Amino acid sequence: MDVTFAPSVFPPLALGFFGLGTGYLIYGPHELFGYPPKSDAVNRGLGVWGIWMPGLCQLITGMILFVGLTWLQVFAKEPPLYMAALAFSAYGIHWFAIGWNRYRGNDPRTNAGMCVAFMVISAMGATVFFKVADWPVGLLFLGLFAIYFFDLFASVGLAIGERALGLFHIATGGWLMYLAYAATVNFALGYHWSV
């Protein structure tokens, strides 16, 4: 017996954008301005936020997209959603590790290799979304690439890397808030904002 599900025009993009943007807006001021100042309590607070907002929101988004694209086939045959599913899933899982490491006060130098891998996935995302003329999401992936580029330097202890990382966290976090807002009003109110 074949079971067919009705198509959905509501991929959970806003949830993923909002979760990641919130994480960046929490981490960015600490990195750029040193506020709040470094302490064990601040690391624990940043760790909890990292796990639960960008980590869980993106992982849920990625899993829904993957299941909806592959098993249930409820999302329109839009190949760029595959890239979105990959990115949301991978970034969500990596935020669990980042948050946990921050919470536990683990050595950040272990992030160097991760930064290289996430520069690659960011370049993939930029390639896909600029190719399909979705410049707002392509621009997001350029911001993500810059984040991991500077995180590479921050992870090995260069202060300029942490400051630049904070700047790109804040800028990209602001852009993610726009994308979350635009996706929400587009789906909920039928607007046509660029996403």
Assigned token pair, 113: 């290799």
pLDDT band at 2 (very low <50, low <70, confident <90, very high): confident
Cα 32-33-37 angle, rounded to 5 deg: 115
pTM of the predicted protein model:
0.96
Mean pLDDT of 150-159: 95
> What would the pLDDT profile of 14-36 be if each residue is shown by its tens digit?
999 999 999 999 999 999 999 99
Domain contains 1 = no
Domain contains 111 = yes
pLDDT at residue 166, as a whole number: 98
C-alpha separations of 162 from 147, 157, 158, 166 in Å: 10, 8, 7, 6
C-alpha separations of 157 from 41, 120, 134, 137, 144 in Å: 21, 22, 35, 30, 20
> What would the pLDDT profile of 126-149 be if each residue is shown by its tens digit?
999 999 999 999 999 999 999 999
Domain contains 119 = yes
* Tally of domains within the chain: 1
C-alpha separations of 91 from 33, 54, 84 in Å: 25, 8, 10
Look up the CATH number of the domain holding residue 110. Answer: 1.25.40
Query: Closest Cα to residue 16, out of 52, 48, 60?
Result: 60
89 or 159: which carries more pLDDT confidence? 89
pLDDT at residue 23, as a whole number: 98
pLDDT at 61 over 80: yes
Other C-beta atoms closer than 10 Å to the C-beta of 109 total 10
Mean pLDDT of 2-23: 93
Domain contains 3 = no
pLDDT at residue 77, as a whole number: 83
pLDDT band at 195 (very low <50, low <70, confident <90, very high): very high
Domain contains 158 = yes
> What would the pLDDT profile of 157-186 be if each residue is shown by its tens digit?
998 999 999 999 999 999 999 999 999 999
Domain contains 160 = yes
48 or 4: which carries more pLDDT confidence? 48
Helix (H, G, I), strand (E, B) or coil at 75: strand
| Residue 37, domain extent | 13-189
pLDDT band at 76 (very low <50, low <70, confident <90, very high): confident
Domain contains 133 = yes
